[in-house]
Structure 1
Amino acid sequence: MELEEEARTLAESRLRPSGASGSPTPDEEERPEGSTALVAPPAGFEGDSAGADGLWGLPVEHAERRPECSRCSRPQKVCLCPYLPVHPLQISTRLYIIQHPAEVELKTNICSQYVIRMQPTSRCLSTLECAAAALSILEKNNNIQETLLRPLQALCSFQLQHGAQIRLSKEYLLKNGLYPKPMPKNKRKLRKMELLINSVKI
């Protein structure tokens, strides 16, 4: 019985907030930076003390901030700045993007590199890819497309390395019987699905 009371007294002294009366415990005295500290319950906390007593005594480690990019202030691990051009591209074309969601398929051999998102077909490009292709054609400079798509490629590569999955096009999934959802009952949507299966431009 005496041992239980002594243990409770020791636990209470460790849990005492720093402003409380009484002499500081060794844990409350100067701690080296980066050491673990004991968490004290918030002031005025009233809860199931029997169930929470053990939680307040758990050590908490002080986490260090991840190194950040000085240019964009994002963590260096997910920063895309190394993939951006060092100097702005010299482009004389003024590009306005007015695009209907269904009008994204180009009559080219270009396939979308935005592989972490499902597209209707592999030739349906993201807005960035459309802009890069258009500027390369108008400026007669293939390097523009390569430069503008480098951040997109880096983004997809990073996300694939950290758990993202390659998303095959809806057209591919339908043609190969891999489409995971039931076919729509709406006639208009069903017709679109049939056109995709038959490789007819929607």
Structure 2
Amino acid sequence: MTAVNNDDIWEDFLGISLDPPKMRDKCSQCKRPIDVCWCPGLPDPRLHVESKVIILQHPAEVKRALRTAPMLSLGLESDKCLIFRGKKFPKIHQKGLYDILNDENTILLYPSPNAINIHNLRKVGVDGQKPYNLVLLDGTWPQAKTMYHASPTLGTLKTCKLVDVPISEYVIRTQPTDGCLSTLESGALSLSILEGKDCLKDALLGPLHYLCKFQLERGAITHHSKELLIKQKTYPKLVGKRLSRQLKINSDNSSDV
């Protein structure tokens, strides 16, 4: 048996710093570490739009490192994007949300059975159309669905959906289907349609493009949707019931006019 020198053990302990590990400096704007900040991709100055974006965010989204809702919030003028967190809406402490949800110009982007093609809505300023309050549910598809069904008020809103959407440009993240877009992409595309300004989409997607380019240059790979991998028979896992239902919903929506 080897003898243990207690003095050596104490010397090892003495070499350990009592201070907590130094945290990386964070950007004061996006709150991400400086070396992975995507703020250089933001439009400057912030974009002016007539409508407002109302993001109803699931609490779990706050912990996601690569969430896109902050990109949308920081890309628009400060009073044009409001974020409310929770699993059920509206609540008493969510100041102003009740009035917004009861405004006749409020619309919800959600593929409910009665949702209409967003292209069929009047553009802002046409025939006296006032600016919209565009409500987005920020979370995974199961989370968004739970939020919708837990909030009776959301079921009373006029709902719209994006039809024939392009493939997501969030290429460093795997989407469930080809028709799934990030919160930023959904908001940017919807605003460009409602306001009749195609340039809004590209300008708002600047930070997402910056983030993806940064990650790809450092070894990240381009991800394809689970739907495409399944079609190509290269998806490595069994397809569960939930994903199967989502693929069917996506297929049904893509055939709507």
Amino acid at match of 1:97: V
Check conservation: 1:119, 1:168, Cα contact below 8 A. yes
**Residues 51 and 118 from structure 1, CA distance in 2 versus in 1: closer, same or farther, beyond 3 angstroms?**
same
Does residue 101 of structure 1 match 2:141?
A: yes
Check conservation: 1:84, 1:150, Cα contact below 8 A. yes
Check conservation: 2:162, 2:190, Cα contact below 8 A. no
Check conservation: 1:68, 1:74, Cα contact below 8 A. yes
Does residue 192 of structure 1 match 2:253?
A: no
Check conservation: 1:105, 1:124, Cα contact below 8 A. no
Q: Which residue of 1 aligns with 2:181?
A: 125
SS of equivalent to 2:252: coil
Check conservation: 2:177, 2:227, Cα contact below 8 A. yes
Larger mean Cα displacement after TM superposition, 155-164 or 119-128: 155-164
Deviation at 1:147, TM superposition (A): 0.8
**Residues 194 and 119 from structure 1, CA distance in 2 versus in 1: closer, same or farther, beyond 3 angstroms?**
closer
SS of equivalent to 1:182: coil
SS of equivalent to 1:201: helix
SS of equivalent to 1:97: strand
Check conservation: 2:188, 2:204, Cα contact below 8 A. yes
Check conservation: 1:114, 1:152, Cα contact below 8 A. yes
**Residues 166 and 52 from structure 1, CA distance in 2 versus in 1: closer, same or farther, beyond 3 angstroms?**
farther
SS of equivalent to 1:144: helix
Q: Partners of 1:66 and 1:161 in 2: how far apart?
A: 21
Higher Rg of the two aligned structures: 1
Amino acid at match of 1:101: W
Q: Which residue of 1 aligns with 2:190?
A: 134
Does residue 171 of structure 1 match 2:227?
A: yes
Deviation at 1:108, TM superposition (A): 2.0
Does residue 91 of structure 1 match 2:142?
A: no
Check conservation: 2:26, 2:34, Cα contact below 8 A. yes
Does residue 144 of structure 1 match 2:200?
A: yes
Greater RCO (CA < 8 Å, at least 6 residues apart): 2
**Residues 128 and 66 from structure 1, CA distance in 2 versus in 1: closer, same or farther, beyond 3 angstroms?**
closer
**Residues 158 and 194 from structure 1, CA distance in 2 versus in 1: closer, same or farther, beyond 3 angstroms?**
closer
Q: How many residue pairs end up in the alignment?
A: 148
Amino acid at match of 1:115: V
Q: Partners of 1:78 and 1:194 in 2: how far apart?
A: 33
Structure 2 runs not aligned, ≥5 long: 17-21, 53-132, 146-159
Identity %: 38
* Aligned-residue RMSD, C-alpha: 3.9
Q: After TM superposition, where is structure 1 displaced by more than 3 Å over at least 4 residues in a row?
A: 47-58, 64-76, 102-106, 188-191, 193-196
